[in-house]
Amino acid sequence: MKAVAVTPGTPNSVHLKEIEKPTLDQVAGGLGVLVRVLKVGVDATDREINDALYGNAPEGDGHLVIGHESFGVVEAVGEHVKRVKVGDYVTATVRRPGGSIYDLIGTNDMTSEEEYYERGINLRHGYLTEYFVEEAEYIVRVPMGLKHLHVLMEPMSCAAKAVHQAYEAQQRMKVWRPQVAYVLGAGQIGLLTTLVLKLRGLEVYTLARGEAPNLKSEIVKGLEATYISTRETSWDDLVKQTGKPDLIVDATGSSRLAFEAMEHLGLNGVLVWTGITGGDNKSEVPTDKINLQWVLGNKLLLGSVNANRHHFEMGIKDLALGEMMYPEVLGKILTNPVDGLENYAEMMRLLVEDKDALKVFVNVADE
């Protein structure tokens, strides 16, 4: 069967590769699930892996099959699988356990080992192929009524985790009633985080560069949040208008903006960083000012990566509620389909060149 792979360490090595179709018996104990892949989403991580900024092949292999945002249909299950059945729509989590205590309790996303295993990213093959086999533990059912949002399940799990972690951490306050939140960036994570925060009842301001109206501002408006173009409104003007935010989630992929956000967080607030970049940018930061504000304001900076099955389930519930509250808004994120694995070059071109491509995904197979 066909798969889209890279040669880790070699820039721009994305290619089509013939690989073996996996079989159920590759998972012990009758717990395997064979998934026929329907769609796979790609994002900046795939672009940066193809740029050889990070990403490693599984031990013994020279290639890495990419793609970590999966959507498919169950084709066969092992005899002890209870969670899903043939014909169910499913997605799969990304990170696989290492050996730390966090991995042993199913929170692989919190591993305390330096080395981590992520399908399609690091040391494990991904989903940009025709079939994959996985242990039932890592397969998450997607409700039939959400199948039109297919590849959003994985990015949504990251948004769900980021917000959940913020609330968990803020239990330090005993009472925390956040009112104003800023979301930095209106890419897929920014928009999905906007939804999660709206569903928690916050007043949400989503900041992005482009001037409204544009597709991103339309989606933000559709979610009953407020879109702010940073070209039109400065940080200071926005803070004057809204008061300092209780919560800021950075999803820009710009480390400069992630640090800049530190100057604007409210007292007792939390800033969550979700974006990463494999780059090596440097910029000047007003360290005295931030140091003083953060100590005198009891502020918290939190990094959040990946998501475990619990966050996938939370995210899927929020997508379902989001569809009821704001019908047909979330589907607008799915802007750029590419037909067939063999069109991988077009997929990468969209990721690299098309700044308006909010979400690129591959239609791998029809139902």
The three-point CA angle 93-95-101 to 5° equals 120
* Binding partner of 103, given Zn ion, ligand BGC, none, CB within 5-8 angstroms per partner class: none
226 makes contact with ligand BGC (CB under 6 A): no
157 makes contact with Zn ion (CB under 5 A): no
* Residues shown for the chain: 367
The interface mask with ligand BGC, positions 108-147, x = CB under 6 A, is ----------x--x--------------------------
Q: Which two tokens stand for residue 115?
A: 């080395």
Chain positions 43 to 72 lying near Zn ion, rule: CB under 5 A, are 43, 45
The interface mask with ligand BGC, positions 280-319, x = CB under 6 A, is -------------------------xx-------------
Closest approach, Cβ 338 to ligand BGC, in A, equals 18
β-pair partners for 271: 248, 301
272 makes contact with ligand BGC (CB under 6 A): no
Closer residue to Zn ion in complex, CB, 142/158:
158
Q: Give kind and range of the element (H or E) at residue 294.
A: helix 287-296
Q: How far apart are CA 146 and CA 155, in angstroms?
A: 14
* Binding partner of 34, given ligand BGC, Zn ion, none, CB within 5-8 angstroms per partner class: none
* Binding partner of 121, given ligand BGC, Zn ion, none, CB within 5-8 angstroms per partner class: ligand BGC
Dihedral angle computed from the Cα positions of residues 188, 191, 192 and 197, in that order, rounded to the nearest 10 degrees: 160
Buried b (16+ CB within 10 A) or exposed e, 139-172: bbbbeeebeebbbbbbbbbbbbbbbbbbeeebee
| Number of alpha carbons in the 13 Å side-chain half-sphere of residue 347 | 31
47 makes contact with ligand BGC (CB under 6 A): no
45 makes contact with ligand BGC (CB under 6 A): yes
C-beta of residue 283 within 8 angstroms of C-beta of residue 299: no
* Binding partner of 48, given Zn ion, ligand BGC, none, CB within 5-8 angstroms per partner class: none
Closer residue to Zn ion in complex, CB, 56/229:
56
158 makes contact with ligand BGC (CB under 6 A): yes
Q: How far is CA 7 from CA 56, 95, 278, in A?
A: 9, 20, 17
43 makes contact with ligand BGC (CB under 6 A): yes
Give which of 235, 223, 215, 148 is closest to 355, Cα–Cα.
215
Closest approach, Cβ 122 to ligand BGC, in A, equals 7
* Binding partner of 94, given ligand BGC, Zn ion, none, CB within 5-8 angstroms per partner class: ligand BGC
Residues that bind ligand BGC (CB under 6 A): 43, 45, 68, 94, 118, 121, 154, 158, 305-306
Residues in contact with Zn ion by CB under 5 A are 43, 45
